[in-house]
Chains A and B, each alone.
Chain A
Amino acid sequence: MIEKKVKLGNKLGLHARAAAKLVQLGETFKSEIKITKDNVEANGKSILSVLLLAAPVGTELDFIIQGPDEEKAMIAIASLIERQFDEGE
């Protein structure tokens, strides 16, 4: 199991399209992905669950990933967030 805090830098935070990209990326890995913020835990492979986090710009999300490809998954997810979901903002 690995854990990492990642800060959202994109203007709109974890909005619907960003959440969809995150979940679609997460679905490509076998590992279980949990995201927590303010006592709310979301399933990183469900867009509706991720949207419940209601995370605006500047929010720090805690990713807990467990499974055979956990390291690859964490690198890919952190990279997507660092690239600001490829939104160009």
Chain B
Amino acid sequence: MIGILIVTHGSLADEIMKTCFKIIGERDNVGAYSIQWDDDPTVATRRIEKLLKKLDQGDGVLVLTDMFGGTPTNIMISLSKNFHVEIVTGVNLPMLIKAITTMNIFNDLSEFAEKVKQQGQKNIYKVSDILSMKRL
């Protein structure tokens, strides 16, 4: 089974996970690590390593980070040498809901990461476009 770990700046990771669980119910094999502004990156890296070990049940871990180039993503890039992970940036709520509700049907981490990336992008809308479509 594939695991999911959300890693972000501030408290976003914990809050987006809680919000998602409030909507779809609590799930196993999902973790969050929020890197606070004053955290020592070395300590954060060690804690994330522990979480990855716990979440990897054999098929790897999909890591959802907030932004490419930021510390959470950079830490994950450095850890990707030693762990079986795929990193997708730009975590958003539809992306997370899709990831958590479909994690059981994928065995291939790379394929799963690609699907989650596509869903995250696809579910961003300019609302007026949707509303005008409905008036047709």
- Could you list which residues of chain A lie within 8 angstroms of chain B, going by C-beta atoms? 16-17, 20, 24, 37-40, 47-48, 52, 54
- Could you list which residues of chain B lie within 8 angstroms of chain A, going by C-beta atoms? 22-25, 94, 97-98, 101, 119, 123, 130-131, 133-136
Closest 9 CB pairs of A and B: A38-B134, A16-B23, A20-B24, A20-B23, A48-B94, A17-B23, A48-B123, A39-B136, A40-B134
Nearest opposing residue in chain B for A51, CB measure: B94
Given A17, A40, A47, A48, which contacts B133 in the complex, CB threshold below 8 Å? A40
Q: Which residues of A contact B25 (CB under 8 A)?
A: 20, 24
14 contacts between A and B (CB under 8 A): A16-B23, A17-B22, A20-B24, A20-B25, A37-B134, A38-B135, A39-B133, A47-B24, A47-B97, A48-B119, A48-B123, A52-B130, A54-B131, A54-B134
Q: Which residues of A contact B23 (CB under 8 A)?
A: 16-17, 20, 47
A48 and B134 contact, CB distance less than 8 A: no
Least distance between B130 CB and chain A CB atoms (Å): 7
Least distance between A33 CB and chain B CB atoms (Å): 16
Nearest opposing residue in chain B for A49, CB measure: B123
Given B119, B123, B134, which contacts A39 in the complex, CB threshold below 8 Å? B134
Nearest opposing residue in chain A for B123, CB measure: A48
Q: Which residues of B contact A47 (CB under 8 A)?
A: 23-24, 97, 101
Nearest opposing residue in chain A for B122, CB measure: A48
Given A17, A48, A54, which contacts B130 in the complex, CB threshold below 8 Å? A54
Q: Which residues of B contact A24 (CB under 8 A)?
A: 24-25
Q: Which residues of A contact B22 (CB under 8 A)?
A: 17
